[in-house]
Amino acid sequence: MRLISLLACLVALSACATHPGKVDQVRFAKDAEPVLATTEAGTVRGVDGAGTRAFLGVPFAAPPVGERRWRAPQPVAAWQGARDATRIGPDCTQAIGRRSILGGGGGIVVGSEDCLYLNIYAPGGEAAEARPVMVYIPGGAFTVGAGANYDPSKLAREQGRVVVTMNYRLGALGWLAHPGFQATGEGFGGNFGLMDQQAALKWVHRNIAAFGGDPGDVTLFAESAGAWTACYLMASPQSEGLYQRVIMQSGGCLEPSSLVRAQDAALSGPMFAERLGCTGQDQIACLKALPAWRLSRAASLRAGINGPGSWGPVHTDATVPENPAVAIREGRFTRVPVLVGTNLDEGRLFANEVQDMDRYQKETIWMYGDQGERVLARYPVGEDGPAYAIATNFTDQRFACPSQALRRLLAQHVPVWGYEFADREAPFVLPDWIVGLDLGAYHASELAYVFGTRWVFADPKRFTPEQRALSERMQRLWATFGRSAFAAKWPRVEGAGPVRVFKPQGDVIDDGFFERHHCDFWDGTPFGAVH
């Protein structure tokens, strides 16, 4: 997609920002003291201070370097003595720049291939009994991001949870599919990042008890690209038993271009290799000999928001044996309670460059092809201008309606709840006069509310009292999801609704989501959610 400048600039900003997940307020607290935990590979030394216990940069798989590049994650080698776990591990290799995240190429490459680390946060002190666990998969268009971009210390401390964040391989290193991978026993490839996530979940299952967590009480929550992969994980038999409930934030995987077969994704693999000068018969050997930074920069040419040719998980392979839409429809998935939600104005974060009618028409035709004229008629430009019109159709087609369809399919088999985050005054790192439009409840704006701590787009210190109360509400609901206290406050999805609409002034239960987001219109186009 070409609506890129604002988000790309913000990603560049995030790369320069400190990682909130390194929790300096814990590491350097006056009462900070070292604490030990023993994993299957050895002992790690974390820190306990300011009411929080943290273990940072804990390896969950061997470094995927050398011959382990583009292979399934391997076990961590054992170590002697106490390994330092008071500093975050490296981010996975990623290209950061104005155009790199959504498909423009170039950018500054940061991070390392040696990146398969996770971070663990818990309330301070020794746990009297095993605590529920929450495992978070970060987003970032499958090309950028890291677990340490989030600080779950408040969520862990105040909700009595053990919270885990993870890294996984990104861009071509995580999602490249190529026919040559068949010779290495990896099928067509394409799911290395997904396998990293499964490896992290398996590590949590085997080791989290040492950190005070209950391996039989795990909530998987994820946002954006992370939520798309959570959907794929539910359709993967290898995920069975690794979590007991799932929360998907802004990532409805039933959007058509998100559902790609491994063998189809592999068709573009040789072209990617040729662009890097690998024109011989053994392209995989050539690619493995290249430095990670070259692969990452080249991968940014193919980036995008789950559009054709973008990076992301694939199906019909050993990890995800069938199309997730089919698996969910037929009940062949991990059957656990699920919460699926989106934000009211997802698309506004991507639309700031569309400031005139000509650009609106060209972008709409480019995105929707022969359906473009129908989309223009359904979403006419109003008083707010063309940026808002294209943001609205993008919100509906890419986020709202696929999530609604996912809720309906899941609800045939498991308990399902829905939400819409609708705080149109959510704080943002830049003022509106710089952004060029009112972002409203933009993509990812709910994250500062769910964690209650700062991240690149927003700082809860700017919350109003009503927003602070909303944040506390959402943290409690996320932490208690799937339990009786949660179910008593929130009606389940039946048919097309309802969803809970989160607002600072007070939440409301809404049955009109399907109609408000024109899902009937999109279902009548090739761009409608896959049912």
Predicted local distance difference test score (pLDDT) of residue 307: 47
Span 32-52, mean pLDDT? Answer: 97
Position 295 confidence tier, pLDDT thresholds 50, 70, 90? very high
Position 351 confidence tier, pLDDT thresholds 50, 70, 90? confident
Position 16 confidence tier, pLDDT thresholds 50, 70, 90? very low
Q: Does the pLDDT of residue 181 top 60, yes or no? A: yes
For residue 342 the two structure tokens come to 């989106």
Least confident interval from 220-224, 325-329, 436-440, 446-450: 436-440
Catalytic residue among 205, 443, 517, 518: 443
- Average model confidence (pLDDT) across the chain: 91
Position 9 confidence tier, pLDDT thresholds 50, 70, 90? low
Q: What is the pLDDT of residues 358-406, one digit of tens each?
A: 899 999 999 999 999 999 999 999 988 999 999 999 999 999 999 999 9
Please tell me what DSSP assigns to residue 505.
T
CA geometry: angle 296, 297, 300, nearest 5 deg: 90
Predicted local distance difference test score (pLDDT) of residue 183: 86
Nearby residues of 400 by Cβ (< 8 Å), 6 or more positions away: 252, 342, 346, 420, 513, 517, 519
Span 511-520, mean pLDDT? Answer: 96
For residue 374, the tally of other CB atoms under 10 A from its CB is 14
Predicted local distance difference test score (pLDDT) of residue 280: 85
Span 464-471, mean pLDDT? Answer: 97
Q: What is the pLDDT of residues 322-331, one digit of tens each?
A: 999 999 999 9
The answer to whether residue 403 is catalytic is no
Query: Considering just the CA atoms, what is the radius of gyration of the chain in Å?
Result: 22
Catalytic residue among 186, 223, 255, 346: 346
CA distances (Å), 366 to each of 239, 354, 360, 375, 390, in order? 37, 13, 10, 12, 12
Q: What is the pLDDT of residues 253-269, one digit of tens each?
A: 899 989 999 999 999 99
Least confident interval from 292-296, 352-356, 410-414: 352-356
11 three-state secondary structure: helix
For residue 75 the two structure tokens come to 């076990």
Q: Does the pLDDT of residue 300 top 70, yes or no? A: yes
**Beta strands in 8-143, from DSSP E residues, in sequence order:** 33-38, 43-49, 52-59, 82-84, 94-96, 108-110, 117-123, 131-137
The pTM (predicted TM-score) of the whole model is: 0.94
Catalytic residue among 153, 224, 250, 471: 224
Predicted local distance difference test score (pLDDT) of residue 7: 55
Q: Does the pLDDT of residue 3 top 60, yes or no? A: no
Beta bridge partners of 59: 117
| Chain position carrying tokens 């009595």 | 160
Q: Does the pLDDT of residue 288 top 50, yes or no? A: yes
The answer to whether 426 and 448 are in contact (CB under 8 A) is yes
Position 487 confidence tier, pLDDT thresholds 50, 70, 90? confident
- Hey, what CATH topology would domain 5-345+393-523 get? Rossmann fold (3.40.50)
For residue 279 the two structure tokens come to 């024109």
Predicted local distance difference test score (pLDDT) of residue 96: 83
**DSSP per position, 338-403:** EEEEEETTGGGGG-TT--SHHHHHHHHHHHHGGGHHHHHHHS---TT-HHHHHHHHHIIIIIIHHH
Per domain, the residue ranges of the chain are 5-345+393-523
The answer to whether residue 224 is catalytic is yes
The answer to whether residue 236 is catalytic is no
| Top-confidence range, 226-240, 252-266, 346-360, 491-505 | 226-240
Predicted local distance difference test score (pLDDT) of residue 496: 72
Q: Does the pLDDT of residue 507 top 60, yes or no? A: yes
Q: What is the pLDDT of residues 85-131, one digit of tens each?
A: 999 999 999 998 655 555 556 678 999 999 999 999 999 999 899 99
Q: What is the pLDDT of residues 204-214, one digit of tens each?
A: 999 999 999 99
Report the sign of the C-alpha dihedral through residues 510, 511, 514, 518, in that order.
Answer: negative
The answer to whether 263 and 316 are in contact (CB under 8 A) is yes
